[in-house]
Amino acid sequence: MAVVSRPPLALTDLDDAALQALVQELGGKPFQVRQVAHWLWQHGATVADDFKNVPKSLREALLARLPARSTAVAKVDAADDGTEKLLLRLFDGESVECVLIPDGDRTTLCISTQVGCPVRCVFCASGMFGVQRNLGAGEILEQVLHARHRLAAGRSLTNLVVMGMGEPMLNLDALLPALARIHAPDGLDMGARRITVSTSGYPRQMERFAAEPTPYGLAISLHAADDQLRRELVPTATAPVAEIVAAANRYAGQKGREVTFEVVLLEGRNDRPEDAAALVAALRGSPCTVNLIPWNPVPELAGAHDLHRPAPGRVDAFADSLRRGGLKVTVRRQRGADRSAACGQLRLRDLENG
Ligand code: SF4
């Protein structure tokens, strides 16, 4: 995979020290650094007029040096239930998706960390073509800024899940500074308990993530507790299930919060009684909840891998087996069901249309 190391593309790529250095280099005073940051992160400023109380010469010099953002919303796909999928165009013509999911008082945003995905889960459109590149910190942060701008008056982002395209643990260099900005009180001010990062299970990188002082939530896309079956479904994430569960348990202990194990259910592949029994055996005693996600069909993959969404009765039976085994279980409702619902599908359509 091409790991991109490049100069900052936009102000969103700068950490606090770099932003301070730039503003001061342009003649700004320390208090004006705070003003610039305030308009950038709390108000989503993009053009000179947005930086209300910053001297005109400073705002113009700043934006002449770097644009506020490097991405633009290329397409919005809205479902009848209010779910909005945003396709963002990146500086090099690539694209990524993020998804806004309103649900009662909550509004959750799901963001991406890579263009494509190297994990290549057999059921996922994002992994169909592998990974093109990592996103930069600014490209990750900008998904939140764009999505926040679309919220109706009176609504705010209540939850952030890093569960879109890409494997977050393979891009921690960009993800961690982006999350720091999103979490910081003088950044986007989102509490750590409202931020969850999802991984296919990379124990070494999970240790680095655990070393962060901020207690972000952690979700593990497990899909199967049997190593051989898991390798069929998640071909490149090859760490043994026992190691992944041990790393998750350590994280839960260190942060004082339980982890979530996600299981995308595929009829006849991983929703059989023996699959439930294997999950119970692997997760019994772990401080966790198991989240069952009936597969959102991707037509291109359904035929190629003979995949099917399980009927509701099978999902209920699977959930009951886990509960009888002592596990806490939730079942995810399907959202955005009518249009490009599964992760990566909007980008897939964009690629198909050239
Ligand atoms: S499900 Fe997640 S980890 Fe798997 S290919 Fe898709 S984006 Fe990558």
* pLDDT 10s digits, 214-263: 999 999 999 999 999 999 999 997 799 999 999 999 999 999 999 999 99
For ligand 1, say whether the CB of 298 is within 6 Å of any of its atoms.
no
How would DSSP label each residue in 10-54? SGGG--HHHHHHHHHHTT--HHHHHHHHIIIIIH---SGGGSTTS
Joined tokens for residue 101: 């999911």
In this structure, which amino acid lies at residue 123?
F
Reported as a single tens digit per residue, the pLDDT across 281-301 is 999 999 999 999 999 888 888
Angle at CA of residue 123, ends 224 and 150, nearest 5°: 110
Report yes or no: 23 and 62 within 8 Å, Cβ to Cβ.
yes
Reported as a single tens digit per residue, the pLDDT across 319-336 is 999 999 999 999 987 665
Catalytic-labelled residue, pool 98, 110, 121, 343:
343
For ligand 1, say whether the CB of 200 is within 6 Å of any of its atoms.
yes
For ligand 1, say whether the CB of 237 is within 6 Å of any of its atoms.
no
For ligand 1, say whether the CB of 165 is within 6 Å of any of its atoms.
yes
What separation in Å is there between the alpha carbon of 220 and the centre of ligand 1? Answer: 11
* Residue ID of nearest Cα to ligand 1 atom 7: 165
Q: Is 274 a catalytic residue?
A: no
Helix (H) or strand (E) holding 177: helix 172-183
Domains of the chain from N-terminus onward: 11-65 (1.10.150.530), 72-352 (3.20.20.70)
Reported as a single tens digit per residue, the pLDDT across 180-201 is 999 999 999 999 999 999 999 9
The reported pTM is 0.93
Neighbouring residues of 258: CB distance < 8 A, sequence distance ≥ 6: 252, 287, 288, 289
Reported as a single tens digit per residue, the pLDDT across 77-112 is 998 888 999 999 999 999 999 999 998 999 999 999
- At 2, is the pLDDT very low, low, confident or very high (cuts 50, 70, 90)? very low
Q: Is 262 a catalytic residue?
A: no
What separation in Å is there between the alpha carbon of 25 and the centre of ligand 1? Answer: 42
Which atom of ligand 1 approaches the CA of 237 most closely?
A: 3
* 353-to-42, 336, 342, 345 alpha-carbon distances in Å: 36, 21, 18, 12
For ligand 1, say whether the CB of 117 is within 6 Å of any of its atoms.
yes
For ligand 1, say whether the CB of 112 is within 6 Å of any of its atoms.
no
Joined tokens for residue 143: 């998904």
What separation in Å is there between the alpha carbon of 32 and the centre of ligand 1? Answer: 42
